[in-house]
Amino acid sequence: MRHVMVQIPKTPAPASPAPRSVPTSADVARLAGVSRATVSYVLNNTSAVRISEPTRRRVHEAAKELGYVPHAAARSLRAGHSRLVLMPAPTIPVGQLYGQFINELQWALSRLDYTVVQHGSVGLHGDEAARAWAELRPVAVLVPGAGLGPKGVAVLKRSGARAVVTLGPESVEGAHALLMDHEAVGRCAGAHLYERGRRRIGVVVPEEAGLEAFSLPRLEGVRNALRGTDATVTHLPLAHTEEAGARLAARWRDLGLDAVFAYNDEYAMLLMRALQDQGVDVPGETALIGADDLMIGRLLRPRLSTVHLELPSGRDLAELVDRAVRDPGAVPETHKVLGATVVHRESS
């Protein structure tokens, strides 16, 4: 067999496009027809210098057209500190109310030219977690819940954090504190049920790990509200599953309770559905009250009684962070937050 060799000409590889140069603030200034200083004032949201609105628009439009983004590290070097506010990601289930609060806080901090970053520190706790947070060199750290101690606060401050703010039941030495009085939530619920003529009161306490800092003070609040009266309090552990709700409801009449305060509206709705499935009349046989005042509670039948929580304003907390960043040597502030009031509806 005759073989014919054919040479395949080499096709040159297509030339890769030349890398585009990274746009600079000078490019933005030229396109907008302003100085580099004006670009810096506008994009850094500097309030000390007045810039007209048309000029601000031109600068933003030029930056968008060029794809220019300010260099955070360079800005931090000029300022002597970062604009990064770190918030540890919650390691416990958080409800809708807390999520709304966090969103408002992030928006308010961004308006003050801070960048908010949530840090996932799974498996790290307390002062060990603080060392992981410190590696990012945040200018401020907002710590929800308990666990951070004075040593952790000191580690954060040595790493350059100008403000450490805790949101929990107790203050921590060296940190600004927003004290959240969960005992008052339970006290309101217990007093309400007693005033409605109920005397055998159950308190749902979540079995989910990590919620003890919130749930146990609420249980204690009910006990404090009823101390010295003829009422009894029964501790009711409950996981947030349909199966757990059904098991509790199946033995409800054996418990002999005529009222229940659920940890929050979500647990209250879980238990209400389970009780109704067992034929337990709410509120005829058992009055029921939750906490958080979620809108969905108003859509239930019967409508859910609840304890309305007044969380701190995200704007107020953002201003506290900004004050602390501007004056890191100031004495830490302590504010009592989380006002609690009963909203009486049909379920109680």
Distance CA 308, CA 104 (A): 18
Confidence (pTM): 0.72
pLDDT in tens, the chain (348 residues): 455 555 555 555 555 555 567 888 889 899 999 998 888 888 876 666 788 899 989 999 998 888 887 765 555 545 545 789 998 876 666 666 777 777 888 888 888 888 888 887 666 677 788 888 898 899 999 887 767 889 999 999 999 999 999 887 788 899 998 888 899 999 999 999 999 999 999 999 999 887 888 899 999 999 999 999 999 999 999 999 999 999 999 999 999 999 999 999 999 999 999 999 999 999 999 999 999 999 999 999 999 999 998 877 788 889 999 999 999 988 998 888 778 999 999 999
In degrees, to the nearest 5, what angle opens at C-alpha 303 toward C-alphas 297 and 304?
A: 55
Contact predicate 121/133, CB 8 Å: yes
Q: Output the six-digit token pair for 257.
A: 């309770």
Burial class (CB in 10 A: 0-12, 13-18, 19+), 161: buried
Mean model confidence pLDDT for the chain: 86
Residue tagged 């204690």 (tokens): 220
Query: How far is Cα 193 from Cα 209, in angstroms, rounded to an integer?
Result: 27
pLDDT for residue 91? 62
CB contact burial 122-137 (16+ within 10 A = b; e otherwise): eebeebebbbebbeee
pLDDT of residue 77: 47
* Distance spanning both ends of the chain, measured CA to CA: 98
DSSP strand pairing (84-88 vs 115-119): parallel
CA distance 336 to 170: 10
Rg (alpha carbons) of the chain, rounded to whole number: 28
DSSP for 182-193? HHHHHHHHHHHH
Residue 280 carries which side chain, given as an amino acid letter? V
CB-based contact 177:165 (threshold 8 Å): yes
The pLDDT score that the predictor gives to residue 18 is 53
> How confident is the model over 18-76, as pLDDT tens digits?
556 788 888 989 999 999 888 888 887 666 678 889 998 999 999 888 888 776 555 55
* Strand partners for 339: 310
Give the span between the Cα atoms of 297 and 115, in whole angstroms: 35
Show the CA angle centred on residue 334, arms to residues 332 and 318, nearest 5°: 80
| Cα dist from 43 to 5, 71, 75, 110, 325, whole Å | 65, 11, 11, 13, 20
